Amino acid sequence: MPETPVPSMLPSLLFLLLFGGAAVAVLLWNRKRAARHMIQAGLSQRAFLEQTGFRVVGAEHADLGQQAELALKALMQEGGESGQEWTRDCGGVQVHHFFRRVQQANINCYWCRWSTPLAHAPRIALQVIEKRLVGKLAGVDNFIENKSYEWRQLLPNPVPLGDAELDKRFLVFGNDPALVRTALGANGVRDLLLACKQVDLSVDAQGVVFSDPFRENILAAVGGGVGVMMVGANPHALTQMILPVHDRVSWLAATLARACA
């Protein structure tokens, strides 16, 4: 009497083994790729610190590799709850960069600014703000992307600069219009302002502060969100695209600190 065939589980087991093996291989490959990417990102961040002269505040005595690790970790968390601050020297003027993101009641709150503290109240106080950002209620808004932050006019006098390109783009305020024009006429200031994507700048007793909470300047440098995705796999390219923004704003803050002191 012929034997009754018994269904074989071998093909199914082979499929599962092959599929499982492939999944494990992909997982390991992705982990290796992620590890390589982190190494590249760390090296790129170290090069960025070397080129700009930035150092992580509170860790200035750590070696550059350790500082790069701290900076990279903070960048991946967008500063996190407490934020992170860097400092650099621009021609003898200390310029700070601070960034932070926190979530409050399902709303993301951002900080991104460059600043220079002053030893005393400046001789010249001023504000420069993009005209397109100032609404009727003196609030700064970006309606297209549903983002907003508070802005206050700190100084009483509107200051026309007599420069068609600057006056078309910016609102300027100060105590003494003549002195404001002198400060903004300092070598390089005009070109630095026009090269920025978005400007919210003040010089007062708190020092020089350039605020860009939505990082419009940095995003513009890398081509927006699409650009970030395109170059995201190349940390070196990303840092090299961002570096000129830090140089531009840092030197703008340093130049105005000297001009307004």
User: How confident is the model over 14-23, as pLDDT tens digits?
Assistant: 444 444 444 4
Question: What pLDDT is attached to residue 142?
Answer: 57
| pLDDT reading at 102 higher than 80 | yes
Question: What pLDDT is attached to residue 5?
Answer: 44
Give residue limits of the domains in the chain: 82-260
| pLDDT reading at 117 higher than 50 | yes
| pLDDT reading at 7 higher than 60 | no
Q: Which of 93, 119, 253, 259 is closest to 180 using CA atoms?
A: 259
Question: What pLDDT is attached to residue 140?
Answer: 63
Q: How confident is the model at residue 80 (pLDDT cuts 50, 70, 90)?
A: confident
Q: Which residues pair with 181 in a beta bridge?
A: none
- Cα angle 251-256-261, degrees, rounded to a multiple of 5: 135
The pTM of the full predicted model, rounded to 2 decimals, is 0.82
* Amino acid of residue 164: A
Q: Which of 105, 173, 161, 103 is closest to 134 using CA atoms?
A: 173
Using CB atoms within 10 A of its CB, is residue 144 exposed (0-12), middle (13-18) or buried (19+)? exposed
Contact between 251 and 243 (Cβ < 8 Å): no
Backbone CA torsion sign across 189, 190, 195, 199 = positive
Question: What pLDDT is attached to residue 236?
Answer: 85
Q: Which residues pair with 86 in a beta bridge?
A: 56, 97
H or E stretch at 207: strand 207-211
